[in-house]
Amino acid sequence: MGKINDLIIGNLKEVEKEANAVVTQDLEESENETYRSFYNLWKDQDRKDNINLMFEDLKSNIDTYWLAEKYNNDIKKSFNMIYFEHGGLYGGELEAFAVDFDDSDLELSTFKISEDQMVYLDTISSLPAFVSPTLYHLTENIQGEENNFDDFSDVNTIYELFEATALIEINQLFEKANKENLFEKLNLKKPFYMAVAEHDAGAPKLIYVME
């Protein structure tokens, strides 16, 4: 399973590298200061600090919400995936959903998961997970600045770069959470999958696998 995680992080880093190349190429051809300021905001992200902040946030929300009978009516129920959903350009907070995932046809070449493979459970459902600082920093700064870009395609391009970095950080968050047994009070079936996607924006993407 370690090999799968190596493939996943390699894919995530390649997506980030390609997104960075697109932005830097754009900036060679554009003098737009708003575009450049958001690129600098991306470069200024403290990735280690972001991962630690997400870890503490996730730890708190597991104790406060996921393990509370008030929000989880069958804590002992077993499942093999948590799907994390974020709000895209205008939202850095991720919500968690417990899923019964059919991994018999897992496509590792793209790491994308079909909705047909996912059955949502009513245990962990729309519960707070953590805030991605990278996405949040984009969200809190981009509002009202969209029209200052040359066109909206540049807004989408800078968002794709921020999202790519956020997914790498989230992969590292899940690795840290796994090593520190953050999910030990949940009845997880192994292998256990972590997937992430923007709300209503296509297939969830596999981010980490726990043996």
Q: How many angstroms separate the CA atoms of 159 and 157, rounded? A: 5
Counting the structural domains of the chain, the total is 1
Q: 47: closest CA among 170, 187, 196?
A: 170
pLDDT at position 104, please? 83
Domain that holds residue 46: 2-210
pLDDT at position 109, please? 61
Question: Hey, CA dihedral for 104, 106, 107, 108, is it positive or negative?
Answer: negative
Q: How many angstroms separate the CA atoms of 203 and 13, rounded? A: 19
Q: How many angstroms separate the CA atoms of 196 and 82, rounded? A: 9
Q: Tokens in use for 132?
A: 């991605």
Evaluate if pTM is beyond 0.75.
Answer: yes
Q: 130: closest CA among 209, 53, 195?
A: 53
> Could you tell me the mean pLDDT of each successive run of 10 residues in the chain, 211 residues long?
86 97 96 97 98 98 96 92 95 95 77 88 96 97 96 96 98 98 96 94 90 86
pLDDT at position 28, please? 95
Runs of H (alpha helix) within the chain: 2-29, 33-43, 47-61, 133-142, 152-179
pLDDT at position 116, please? 87
